[in-house]
Amino acid sequence: MLTDSHAHLDNERYAEDREAMLARAWEAGVGTVLAIGIGEQADGMDRALDICRQFNGRPNLPTLYASAGIYPHNTHEADDAVLAKLDRLLAEPEVIACGEIGLDYYHEGTPHPVQREGLIRQLEIAAARKRPILIHCRPKDGATDAWDDLFEILEAHWRPTGLGGVMHCFGGGWEQAQRSLDLGFLISFAGNLTYPKAQPLRDVAAQLPLDAVLVETDAPWLAPVPDRGKRNEPAWVLRTALVLAELVGVTGEEITSATTKNFFKLFSLRPDVGN
C-alpha cells in the first residue's frame, strides 16, 4: 500500500470531515500517513499525536504516525519550555520523526540566524531521541542560500548521528539532491511534481535511485493536477506516485512498494506489527 510521508492532518480545513478524509485515503490504497506536528504555532506540536491516538485502531483507515517540530518561521518561539515539550513528544512511540524543521529564506519572517539556531537546537534534541528529521528548505527565488546554510549545519550537527531523514517537498536541483543522498536522506516529492512548470524538478526525479524516494501530499496544500488549488488530501498521493513512477521508469505497483519500503526502513518500522 502507499505511504503519504507528509500530511498536515491537524489542519483546521479537515475539522468537518477528518475521518471521512482518512477513509478515502484507505480506499485509494494509502496504508500509512505521517501526520506532521508543527501546529499553527509551536504550541500546537502535539496535535498530530492526538490525531494518531484518536484514529489508530479504527477499521479501514490508514495507520497514522506523527512528527513533532518547530517550523522555521516559528523558531523565535523556541524557548526552553517549547524545546522541553518537543523532547517529551519525541519520546512517544508514535512520534517517529522530528519535523518539519529547517530553513525558509523565501518568506519574510523569523530572522535567518534565529532559524539556524532553532534548527541546531532541534537537531540536538532529535539526535538524543534517535529520531530521523524532516527537512523543510526553501531558498529565495533563483538562489541556493538556504540550501548552502542547511548543508553546512547538517554536515556539522547531523551527519555524525547517522540517523538520516527526509527532504520534504523537495524543490532543489541535482546538486542538492546528490548532497542529500550523500547525507543518507530520502527525497520526498509532493504534488508540485505534477505541475506544468516543474520540468526541472521532474528531470531531477528521473535520475534518482528507487531506494531514495518517497511521495507525500503536504496536504492540505499542493494538490496535484488536475485539482491544483483545491484542498489536498492523502488519497491523492497516488497521482504524484504515478508521475514519479513514469519518470523513473517503473510501474505504479513498483513505486508504491519502493516508497513504502523506503519509509519503513528509514523509521525502522515493521509493517506486520503496526505501531
Q: Which is nearer to Zn ion, 10 or 218 (CB)?
A: 218
Nearer to Zn ion by Cβ, of 4 and 149: the residue is 4
User: Which of residues 78 and 134 has its CB atom nearest to Zn ion in the complex?
Assistant: 134
CB of 272 to Zn ion, least distance (A): 29
Closest CB to Zn ion among residues 169, 238: 169
Closest CA to 186 of 201, 173, 169: 169
Cα separation of the two ends of the chain: 16
Q: CB of 100: closest distance to Zn ion in angstroms? A: 5
Give the length of the chain: 275
Q: CA-CA distance, 215 to 248, in Å (whole number)?
A: 13
Shortest distance in whole angstroms from residue 6 CB to Zn ion:
6
Query: Which residue lies nearer to Zn ion by CB, 104 or 218?
Result: 218
Minimum distance, C-beta of residue 194 to Zn ion, in the bound complex (Å): 17
Nearest residue to Zn ion, scored by beta-carbon proximity: 218
Strand partners, 166: 134, 186
Cell numbers linked to 251: 510501474
Of 167, 229, 165, which is closest to residue 192 (Cα–Cα)?
229
CB of 214 to Zn ion, least distance (A): 13
Nearest to Zn ion of 94, 216 (CB atom): 216
Joined together, the cell numbers standing for residue 6 give: 507528509
CB of 31 to Zn ion, least distance (A): 20
CA dist., res. 198 & res. 218, Å (int): 17
Nearest distance from C-beta of residue 235 to Zn ion, angstroms: 17
Nearer to Zn ion, 46 or 218 (CB): 218
Identity at 68, one-letter amino acid code: A
Alpha-carbon span 275 to 263, nearest angstrom: 14
Binding mask 97-126 for Zn ion (x = CB under 5 A): ------------------------------
Total residues contacting Zn ion (rule CB under 5 A)? 1
Binding residues among 205-264 for Zn ion as defined by CB under 5 A? 218
Locus of grid cell 537546537: 121
Can you tell me the distance from the alpha carbon of 99 to that of 69, in angstroms, rounded to the nearest whole number? 4
Which of helix, strand or coil describes residue 230? coil
Query: Of 41, 43, 42, 51, which is closest to residue 7 (Cα–Cα)?
Result: 51
What's CA 193's distance to the chain center, in Å? Answer: 15
Residues of this chain that bind Zn ion (CB under 5 A): 218
